[in-house]
Amino acid sequence: MQTDPFLSDTGSLRLRWETRNETAPGAGMFRVTVHSDISGRSLMVAIDARGAGRDVAYVSEDPRSFFLAVESANVDWTLAADEGVAATAAPAADR
C-alpha cells in the first residue's frame, strides 16, 4: 500500500513504527520506502525489519512532497510520520 502524498517543509521526517502478531517466527517482514511525489522515484528504504518489534527511523531529504510505500507480510503494523522542526533550547540557568 502507499500513503497519500504529504508535503514536508523541512525534508526531515521521523517515522515511528511497530509490528506485532507475527504469524510464525521469522515469517514477518515490514519495509517502508520513501518516494518523491513529484517524480514517483524511490528515494530511500527507511525501514527494513523482520518479525515483531518497534523503532524510530529518521529521514533527511530535500523539502518536497513525499509518499511512503509500505510492503508487509505476516505481521500487523502501525506507522506514523512526523515533520522535523529545527529548534534550539536555551541552557538551563544555574541556581
Size of the chain, expressed as the number of residues it contains:
95
25-57 pLDDT, tens per residue? 889 999 999 999 999 999 999 999 999 999 999
- Is the pTM above the cut of 0.85? yes
| pLDDT band (50, 70, 90) for residue 95 | low
Closest to 6 in 3D by CA, of 37, 51, 47: 37
* DSSP letter assigned to residue 2: B
Q: How far apart are CA 47 and CA 80, in angstroms?
A: 12
Cα radius of gyration (the chain): 16
CB atoms within 10 A of CB 23: 10
Q: How far apart are CA 16 and CA 57, in angstroms?
A: 7
* DSSP letter assigned to residue 24: S
- Show the DSSP H helices in 2-90 as ranges: none
